[in-house]
Amino acid sequence: MAGEWTRQRVAVIGAGAIGGAIAARLDAIGHEVVVVARGENLAAIERHGLRLRGALGAHNARIPAVAALEERPEVAILATKATGAAAALEASRAALADVPLLVVQNGLGGERAAAALLGHERVAGGIALMAANSMEPGVVTVTAAGDTIVGGREGARFEALLGEALPTSLTASIEGAQWTKLLINMVNAIPAIVGRSVQDVIRDPGLRAVLVASMRETARTGLAARVRFQPLQGLGPALVRLVASAPDRVASLVPLRIADRLGEVPNLGSTQQSIRRGQPTEVDAINGAVVEAAATLGLDAPVNAALVGLVHEVERTGRFLPASTVRALA
């Protein structure tokens, strides 16, 4: 797409780890970027710029930061947590009328919910496979690079936009890709409960056993729903079936592979980052989505249901729990 590059006015709504990385990279290659942020993050970007570090390179994006959009962009990217998506869109709704929108979010069906709220269908779904931390306002550290997957309506538009700035791929089924990412995102809850990195959790045999159990429930639910899982990060349909039915010692190869891809820089996972920042987590849109989907099929997902409860306990008390509490779920 190098010969077709055109500078565009891009709004990125949500400047946390993923949205911040996307916004900084778009600014780095010359797009006119504005970010929608809040609180300390908004103030830090206004004062010092949006600072990107790590696997995607270093860049200080001196870009406008606002609490809500007032001017209409050419395209927009929603990268808030699922819990804050509706409020963020509602605050900028007038400026987003008929604007092509990419929803980069964990969980299932975020693009459908956005289209319903905005009242137009110019909405694509996106999945970020990079690993990134944002524990300091206005600063994003990418600990492991990875593709941004886009698909659905307007998918090709956003593949062209992001492809110059980030590794980007177009998927034939955004729903199938979301389910594969949902399975990968099972690595989020347990680190948030025990206050350890994703890599540490996967290395712990007892915690890994519970992680595998949550992945098994996710794989079985998706397969029962006849989802066409899409290949992501080396995890394709064959490995999904392996997680669903193979013995634990074999299924454990999947989280171990995920740990290898994350590298040695400790990754906290997005759920733990939210807890450490005192913000609501997305556990209901991740593990809770498995519980909800299973229930609609007449199935149970008890491990995921228990993990949802434990994450909410940590949110409520502000205290991480002993690893033995999680190991007891296996």
DSSP secondary structure letter of residue 75: E
What's the rounded Cα separation, in Å, for the pair 34 and 11?
Answer: 5
Specify the CATH number of the domain 177-327.
1.10.1040.10
Instruction: Specify the pLDDT at position 223.
Output: 97
Strand order in the sheet with 123-128: 65-66, 32-36, 9-13, 75-78, 101-104, 123-128, 148-151, 168-170
pLDDT of residue 194: 98
Report the predicted TM-score, pTM, of the whole model to 2 decimal places.
0.89
More confident of the two residues 222 and 267? 222
Mean pLDDT of the chain: 94
**Cα 95 → chain centroid:** 25
Domain boundaries, the chain: 2-171, 177-327
Largest CA distance in the chain: 57
Among the listed ranges 55-64, 114-123, 268-277, 304-313, which one has the minimum average pLDDT value? 268-277
Confidence at residue 302, expressed as pLDDT on a 0 to 100 scale: 98
**According to the model, what pLDDT value does residue 4 have?**
62
How confident is the model over 261-282, as a mean pLDDT?
88
Look at residue 56 and tell me whether its pLDDT is greater than 60.
Answer: yes
Does this chain's domain 2-171 share its CATH topology with 177-327?
A: no
pLDDT of residue 259: 87
Across 120-128, average pLDDT = 96
Per the listing, tokens 């970027």 go with 33
The Cα–Cα gap between 156 and 171 comes to 10
Higher pLDDT, 63 or 236: 63
**Tokens standing for 60?**
């200080």
pLDDT score of 181: 94
What are 51's strand-pairing partners?
60, 139
What integer pLDDT is reported at residue 94 of this predicted model? 95
Instruction: Render pLDDT for 167-179 as a digit per residue (tens, 0 to 9).
Output: 999 999 999 999 9
Over residues 307-327, the mean pLDDT reads 97
Token duo for residue 170: 């177009």
Tokens of 240: 């999904």
Could you give the residue ranges of the DSSP H alpha helices within the chain?
17-28, 39-48, 85-91, 110-118, 155-163, 174-184, 189-194, 198-203, 205-224, 237-245, 248-251, 253-262, 270-276, 287-296, 302-317, 323-327
CATH domain 2-171 topology: Rossmann fold (3.40.50)
pLDDT, residue 3, reads: 46
* Stretch 227-250: mean pLDDT: 92
pLDDT over 60 (residue 2) = no
pLDDT of residue 32: 98
DSSP symbol at 31: -
Q: At residue 170, what is the residue type?
A: L
